[in-house]
Structure 1
Amino acid sequence: METTAVGTRLVEVVVPVHNEQRALRESIARLHAYLATTFPYGFRITIADNASTDDTWGLATELARELPRVRAVHLDEKGRGRALRRVWSESEADVVSYMDVDLSTDLDAFLPLVAPLLSGHSDLAIGTRLARASRVERGPKREFISRSYNLLLRSVMGAGFSDAQCGFKAVRTEIAQALLPAVEDEQWFFDTELLLLAERHGLRIHEVPVDWVDDPDSRVDILRTALDDLRGLARVARKTLSGAARIPMPAQVRRAELPRGMARQLPRFAIVGVVSTLAYLALFTMSRQVVPAQAANAVALLVTAVANTAANRRFTFGVRGAGGALRDQVEGMIAFLVGLALTSGSLALLPDGVSHGVELVAVIAANAAATLVRFLLLRVWVFNPERRRNAR
């Protein structure tokens, strides 16, 4: 027996598909049965076919005829982001969501995902595979790539959410339709761009730990997707620094503001960080020709840490004059030691005989984490204006 919907609230579940004739019928039937028997709100399942060349579209239309509250939409071009944009922008539901067709995420997490949005407690909700309460089964390669990517988001872009790539998300419809015109990507980076834009505008992002099992038949091109994501991150960073990312939001949406002074400090710190990272990579590469990786890392990190502290002292935090410069450098060494521990640890975890390229990837990921720690230490301790006034 189907459950009775709570009031007239409607949740639209989009399942983007491309050449998924093998899994489509079983997955949609399972999803429909689960929602019809356990979900306390009204729902609609929309199969969004992205230019499939097999019998996916035929199966989708059959399922729409056979199952109540299932419909099918066809797009002539590929792209998960394109499919979500099409359905979400036209939806009249209270909440729009999506999940991958393989249903890798346990469906028991769906109600906790959308409930805070229907209650008005949150604006967006994401499933996270990186929480302690999550139970995840996937190979070490995907695990490393996923964690490195999300670490990069948190350290370089300042993201507060933990898992940008889990195919299990929901948004209040009015929020989605306000954000969509500013989201440029039509492929896999669509999720990340949407979340970064939402966070930039002070929207509330709710995270739900999920149980997740990797689909061994996944056909995602990991390398191409990673490169596209990096290009997308660079584009979003440019828009954010230029102020072009601002868009009008519904008046009732609660906004968040950066702590005092941070709006000026973050772009300057980012510029110093980019220059320091390039200098570090150059020094590491040159030193690596004559000394082991750990020694090359220590030398490169020490030289760039001293220069980085001096540049941030003057450029980011506006400290002038020689007074206290030595003390600032000594305290800045704490950040150096954190960076040294992270990068040395990442190198130590690598197996013997790996290529120089793999070493570079490892130290870049570790440096991204160290960059976040450095900014926090410099802001709240080394160059804290209240602390400096008390010292004087």
Structure 2
Amino acid sequence: MTHSPSTGNANVQPTADTEYQDMTTIDLPRAKARNAALVAAERGVPVLDVVVPVYNEQEQLADSIRRLHRHLCTEFPFDFRITIADNASEDATLAIAERLAGELDGVRVRRLELKGRGRALHEVWSTSDAPVLAYMDVDLSTDLAALAPLVAPLISGHSDLAIGTRLGRGSQVVRGPKREFISRCYNLILRSTLAARFSDAQCGFKAIRADAAAQLLPHVHDTGWFFDTELLVLAQRSGMRIHEVPVDWVDDPDSRVDIVATAVADLKGIARLLGGFARGSIPVGAIGAQLTPAAEPPPSLLRQVVRFATVGVLSTLAYLVLFLALRPLGAQGANLVALLVTAVANTAANRRFTFGVRGRARVVRHQFEGLVVFGIGLALTSGSLAVLHYFGEPARAVELAVLVAANLLATVVRFVLLRGWVFRSRRSAS
């Protein structure tokens, strides 16, 4: 059952304070995402499915759902659904939810036999037919006026995920100093350990496009409060766009969240993600490639050769300039430093320009393997110098000519290894 609103402005636009943030890490050319309203109309489904996870919320459930339903009916211009996800409640929550579903159009109930907010969102989002999915805490601590700006860029196809932030410019937050301190410390830890660029991981006010959820959810394993953070980190590292909306937020004084237990679970989750990224077991590159496929075919061999040659010529010129500048240090020392500096720059340039690999995914691995190739080049050039100097002190012009020839040979070897090993497309896809 869905609800079709009778009033509302169809041109939903973000507020003036809304901040768009392109969180791209895997910088792939983005495929054009279809407008979710058109997709929903073709399928005969609601545009938006708002999930409200609950556990033993008999006191405030009815008032909150009625308030949310009233807001959507009057302020949201598209068909919607409210899904109450009951996390194995032991009080009258389920009975109240079923009564609300019978009274209010567009309200349904999903019963889960196990607890966990992450489990509830994973289950409902994975099976929903709506093209845009959202969730909010049952206490409605976030002002519902932020809902339209939250989902507008997802409906249009501009962004993949959207989050409410209590730490953004324009946010108005009422909460105690203890929770404020904990929240800021947690987000600081995320920035320091996981390089998170979103400002608020745990605000219970988020939305995601269903196509993005289909790519991310199979790789999100937390079933509790860390679910949000894991989802956002994977989205960011997969190159998805995360839209942030400053929200007005009032702390629920009756919140039953165990802060200590939640903090411990969050730290364990951070450690698990760090381990997964270090081992390469989280396929963020493949996720990003599936959601945002390349807009054009990969460069042909001829085009790669031309681009590689361009980079190679520039690298050789830079190498010669550095070598001449450092020659007073000795031929071998100057060769080592000049080759090392240009090798790092050469790998980065070929990664982006020649082989079309963008963003920071596997960049450390690529540079390491590039240094292995550099070692081969060093052996060729240093070996040529050693042989040359074995027969006496050569003229400067002869020395440079030998180095140029050795560098050209090293360049050919470098192209073969970069194309067939370091940036091989099958490895990137895996």
| TM-score tier after normalising by the smaller chain length | 0.5 to 0.7
> Are 1:44 and 2:81 an aligned pair?
yes
- CA drift of 1:261 comes to 8.6
Change beyond 3 A, Cα 1:227–1:92: same
Secondary structure (helix, strand or coil) at the match of 2:162 reads: strand
2:230 maps to which residue?
193
Q: Identify unmatched segments of 5+ residues in structure 1.
A: 268-317, 319-392
Q: Is 2:171 aligned against 1:167?
A: no
Does 2:123 correspond to 1:86? yes
Cα deviation, 1:103-160, whole Å, max 9, x if unaligned, reads 0000000000001011111000000000121000000000000000001101211011
Query: 1:61/1:174 Cα in 2 relative to 1: closer, same or farther (>3 Å)?
Result: same
- Give the Cα separation in 2 of the matches to 1:99 and 1:194: 15
Distance 1:61 1:260 in 2: 46
Q: How many residues align?
A: 268
Deviations 1:247-290 (A, max 9, x none): 543745268943599534999xxxxxxxxxxxxxxxxxxxxxxx
- What one-letter code is carried by the residue in structure 2 that aligns with 1:228? A
The 8 Å contact of residues 51 and 82 in structure 2, kept in 1 or not, is answered as yes
1:76 maps to 2:113: yes
Q: 1:56 aligns with which of 88, 93, 98?
A: 93
- Indicate the SS of the match to 2:173: strand
Percent of aligned pairs sharing the same letter: 60
Pair 1:209 & 2:246 matched: yes
> CA deviation digits over 1:191-229, x for unaligned, max 9?
000001111111110000000000000000000000000
Query: Retained in 2: the 8 A contact 1:106–1:210?
Result: yes
| Partner Cα separation in structure 2 for residue 113 and residue 22 of structure 1 | 28
Query: Contact (CA 8 Å) 2:165, 2:246: kept in 1 or not?
Result: yes
Task: Judge conservation of contact 2:237–2:361 (CA < 8 Å) in 1.
Answer: no
Q: Is 1:142 aligned to residue 243 of structure 2?
A: no
After superposition, the Cα gap between the structure-2 partners of 1:260 and 1:231, relative to the gap in structure 1 and judged at 3 Å, is closer
Does 1:29 pair with 2:66? yes
Q: Structure 1 139/266 Cα, relative in aligned 2: closer, same or farther at 3 Å?
A: farther
Larger Rg: 2
Q: Would the aligned equivalents of 1:203 and 1:254 in 2 still touch at CA under 8 Å?
A: no
Contact 1:202 1:254 survives alignment (8 Å): no
Q: Which amino acid aligns with 1:81?
A: G
Q: Are positions 1:178 and 2:279 aligned together?
A: no
Kindly state the Cα deviation for residue 237 of structure 1 after the two structures are TM-superposed: 0.5
The 1:25/1:264 distance shift into structure 2, 3 A limit, reads same
Identify the match of residue 253 of structure 1 among 282, 289, 292. 292
**Structure 1 pair 141–132 and aligned structure 2 pair: CA distance change class (3 A):** same
**Aligned to 1:202, what secondary structure does the other structure show?**
coil
Q: Contact between 2:49 and 2:130, CA under 8 Å: does it hold in 1?
A: yes
2:364 equivalent in structure 1: 263
By relative contact order (CA 8 Å, sep 6+), the higher-ranking structure is 2
Q: 1:266 to 1:153 in 2, by over 3 A?
A: farther
Give the structure 2 partner of residue 238 of structure 1. 275
Residue of structure 2 equivalent to 1:130 = 167
Other structure's SS at 2:221 match: coil
Mapping 1:264-283, distance limit 5 Å: 264=365
Letter in structure 1 aligned against 2:114? E
Q: List structure 1 runs of 4+ shifted beyond 4 angstroms.
A: 4-7, 259-262, 264-267
**Partner residue in 2 for 1:315:** none
Amino acid at match of 1:258: G
Query: TM (normalized to structure 2)?
Result: 0.59
Q: Which amino acid aligns with 1:100?
A: D
Task: Mark the CA change 1:222 to 1:254 in structure 2 (over 3 Å): closer, same or farther.
Answer: farther
CA contact (8 A) 1:19 1:53 kept: yes
Change (3 A) 1:159 1:254: farther
C-alpha separation in 2, matches of 1:65 and 1:148: 43
Cross-structure match for 1:369: none
* Residue deviations 1:349-382 (CA, integer Å, cap 9, x gap): xxxxxxxxxxxxxxxxxxxxxxxxxxxxxxxxxx
Structure 2: tracts of 5 or more residues without a match: 11-36, 295-356, 369-374, 376-430
What letter matches 2:6 in structure 1?
E
| Cα distance in structure 2, aligned partners of 1:18 and 1:169 | 19
Aligned to 1:18: 55
- RMSD of aligned alpha carbons: 2.3
Return the letter of the residue paired with 2:359: L
1:152 aligns with 2:253: no
Deviation at 1:40, TM superposition (A): 1.1
One-letter amino acid matched to 1:238: G
Partner of residue 7 from structure 2, selected from 3, 7, 26: 3
